[in-house]
Structure 1
Amino acid sequence: MIVGLVGDLEGEVRAAVESVRSLGERGVVVAYQLGDLRFGMGPDPDAYLGAIEETCAEYGLRLSCITGNHEHWGRLDELWSAPAGQDADGRPAPLALSAHVTMLPRGHRWELGGRSFTALGSAPSINRHLLTEGVDWWPTEALLDEHVDAVVAGGHADVMLTHDSPASPYCVPPVEEILRRNVRDNPMGWPADSLAYADEGLARLTRAVLGVVPRLLAHGHFHVAGEDRVRLPGADHDTTVWALAARGHAGTVRLLDLDTLTDPDR
């Protein structure tokens, strides 16, 4: 079985529609979007979601999204705090955003095509000092130790979908270069507390990856495409790490063959 993976869409209608269409035209009927859908954000969030839903419906494609940092976390928190947004144990459950589009909570697990999956969205916004709490930033965007503890307690999964990346030496080279540049040159002029906030997210996500020991990890967040194979401590297998690009640029969309955990296009 072949599924699709889609990087950050950042609320851009054209990128979202073209990404879904590119998968639909390949016959893909299940896809996963790796955070920063920008659910509930932008000038017309209903029209944005409607355009994605219409394209998914056209191809009979079901799109499941994990949480990024750039989502309307106020709305997500509200939905997940209501009984309708929880499972029988009171934990956040997948949210049906439309007929074909679903938002997956942090730590959600499922099986497909003989493979086990877990999703662990969220990341710190390194630009939070430029954002306004309650308008385009919410503190609940961040991954917490309790989320990491829960996903690690769930054990191994073949495929792990995250928004943030693990830290070096478990990240792909383009992400490692971004991390090094932020420390060495800080070309964007990020404040020290913003860099520390981002580092906390990397450390937590790394701990989660080391606990799950997936065979394939796919993430977004850094808006760069890359691939590497790493050996996690204590693992008896390599982990393939994919970073997906964003906004419809090259590398935003990839295919994943669940039999081989490879991209059939590469």
Structure 2
Amino acid sequence: MFLGDTHGNAGWTRQAIDYAAGNGCDVIVQVGDFGFWSDNADTAAFLAITQSRLAKHGITLYWVDGNHEDHDRLAARPTMQKPHRHRGPWSLPDSPNIIHLPRGYRWHWWGQAWMSLGGAASVDRLARKPGKSWWPGETLTDEDVEFASRPGNVDVIVAHDAPYGVDIPKIGIGEPNTDSGWPFVALLESSEHRRKVRQVVDAVRPRLYVHGHYHLRYQAYYRLPGGDRTLVQGLDCDGTPAHLSTMFLNRSTHEEMDS
């Protein structure tokens, strides 16, 4: 089951885990803004509650990083200090069922090649405090893009942001919307980040792309160079009903991917 932004909301995340278990799922893939904040009591409680519920149902939760995580804390993890090609999934000792997927990491499930692609730009960055509620590591670096774009087949990308060119309802393809009320410089940063995501998508040409960040459930197609297309599924966030914030990868999804 894919799961939208959880934002450290322990009660809602617990309900989502129960929902996954009720539908026979043993794996949850969360699309960023998980709630990996600074090492404090609130974050510890969120992780403990989530771990307990996952263990109860025998479920493993994999997550990609969103813009709203403590990226300094993420970067301090031993595996994240290695070169990209040596980075792999990791979990904290007390949360073995909660596993982070680094940017550009690839693996195989059910005969398909998957890749994780965390990161996004915060349009509310100017209202946040660096090192407390905002970290510059939130966005894809050029090195991230180069690594994620390396040769090799990718069928499914799990990401936080959407590629430039996908027409998201009420948001658009990625050009700054001056009527949005957000600072123009932040909108430009968001647009530039979506262009980086597009660069990766154009390089690896996935059939399915699942993301969060925009707190909106929608479906669209992204036209790849040469005419092929990628099915894009955006998920809503915590506090919304399951049909908006979750998605199951089943036979109908595969049929949509192959159409």
Indicate how the Cα distance of structure 1 residues 143 and 134 shifts in structure 2: closer, same or farther if over 3 A, else same: same
Tell me if 1:257 matches 2:257.
Answer: no
Indicate how the Cα distance of structure 1 residues 39 and 203 shifts in structure 2: closer, same or farther if over 3 A, else same: same
| CA distance in structure 2 between the aligned counterparts of 1:67 and 1:190, rounded to whole angstroms | 23
Q: Does the CA-based 8 Å contact 2:120-2:193 persist in structure 1?
A: yes
Q: Which letter does structure 1 place at the counterpart of 2:198?
A: T
Q: Give the superposed CA RMSD.
A: 2.3
Q: Which letter does structure 1 place at the counterpart of 2:90?
A: L
Q: Partner of 2:56 in structure 1?
A: 58
| CA distance in structure 2 between the aligned counterparts of 1:164 and 1:75, rounded to whole angstroms | 21
Q: Partner of 1:247 in structure 2?
A: 238
| CA distance in structure 2 between the aligned counterparts of 1:157 and 1:88, rounded to whole angstroms | 21
Q: Partner of 1:136 in structure 2?
A: 133
Q: Partner of 1:94 in structure 2?
A: 89
| Percent identity (aligned) | 31
Q: Which runs of 4+ in 1 moved over 3 A?
A: 84-91, 171-175
Q: Secondary structure at the match of 1:40?
A: coil
Tell me if 1:14 matches 2:6.
Answer: no
Shift of 1:152: 1.0
Q: Which letter does structure 2 place at the counterpart of 1:183?
A: N
Indicate how the Cα distance of structure 1 residues 54 and 258 shifts in structure 2: closer, same or farther if over 3 A, else same: farther
Q: Partner of 2:72 in structure 1?
A: 74
TM-score normalized with structure 1 length: 0.87
Shift of 1:200: 1.3
Q: Secondary structure at the match of 1:95?
A: coil
Indicate how the Cα distance of structure 1 residues 19 and 262 shifts in structure 2: closer, same or farther if over 3 A, else same: farther
Q: Partner of 2:169 in structure 1?
A: 173
Shift of 1:185: 1.4
Q: Does the CA-based 8 Å contact 2:84-2:147 persist in structure 1?
A: no
Q: Secondary structure at the match of 1:202?
A: helix
Shift of 1:172: 3.9
Moved more, 68-77 or 90-99: 90-99
Paired residues, number: 251
Structure 1: runs of 5 or more not aligned: none
Find 1:47's aligned residue among 40, 45, 48.
45
Q: Secondary structure at the match of 2:76?
A: helix
| CA distance in structure 2 between the aligned counterparts of 1:95 and 1:231, rounded to whole angstroms | 34
Structure 2: runs of 5 or more not aligned: none
